[in-house]
Every structure is written in structure tokens, then in C-alpha cells.
A = this chain, B = another copy of it.
Amino acid sequence: MPDKEIIGGRVTWGDMVVPLSWAVRAGDTIYVSGMVAMKDNQPCFDGDIAVQTRLAMTFMRGILEEAECTFQDIVKVSVFLKNRSDFAGFNSTYAEYFPDEPPARFTICTGFMHEDCLIEFDATAYSPRTSVKT
């Protein structure tokens, strides 16, 4: 099997083709791009922090499935919040996806490409090819 693999289809943001792959496998590691709230394959920033977090997580689940891995394989997440006041709300929604042995993580406040975006996070997963999942 190839050591490097591109995961997910063409990425567009409105009319713009964005030069990134949704995820890339490199050996045993899968690098997942920055996830934001998505609906019908397009960014969707209508909701609050819980809504946007769920939309981003749901979209990421699809990417992970294409990569043949799961939330449990994620070992590191980089979290970018627009508002510090969303920290608690983000954590409680995020924790639903990682009930046990959550990934390592950093969380900082930054700006985003769209002013209504409240949350973006990337992820690094570890899923050796040689492992047999049953």
C-alpha cells in the first residue's frame, strides 16, 4: 500500500477552490485539515459554539471514515476559538466526541477567514496500517 494518501475530494469555499486536501495519510499518521462548521459541503456559520462544533465534528467524522479511522484514533487536536467566552461551551460539546482518553490539545483565541466562524480545529490521528480492526 502507498505510504502517502490524499483523503477527501476537491475543497471549495463558495466559488473559490482552496488548495488543500481534507486529510493526508503519511505512513501511520493522518493529518486532518482545519475543520469548521460545514453543511452540504460548504461552510455554515449560523449557529452558536455548540452548533458549530457539532457541524465541524460531523464533517470530520466523514473525513475520518474515508481515512478508515475514528475519533478514537485522534491523538492531537489544535483548537482555535474566536471568543474566550466560548471555552466552557466548546469543552462540553467537544467532550461528547472524546468520552475516554481525549487527545492532547492546545486551545487559543484567534481570528478566522470568515467573521462569523466561532471555532476551527485540526486533528492528527494515528492508525497503523498493519493493525487489524475487528
Task: Report which A residues bind B (CB closer than 8 A).
Answer: 3-4, 6, 16, 18-24, 26-29, 31-34, 75-78, 80, 84, 87-88, 91, 94-95, 98, 101-115, 120, 122, 124, 126, 128, 131
Contact = CB atoms under 8 A, between A and B. Distances in A.
Contact of A76 (B16, B31, B113): B31
Contacts of A27: 28, 126, 128
A15 to B, nearest CB: 10
A109 B80 CA distance: 10
How many copies of the chain does the oligomer comprise?
A: 3
A95 B7 CA distance: 18
Contacts of A33: 104-106
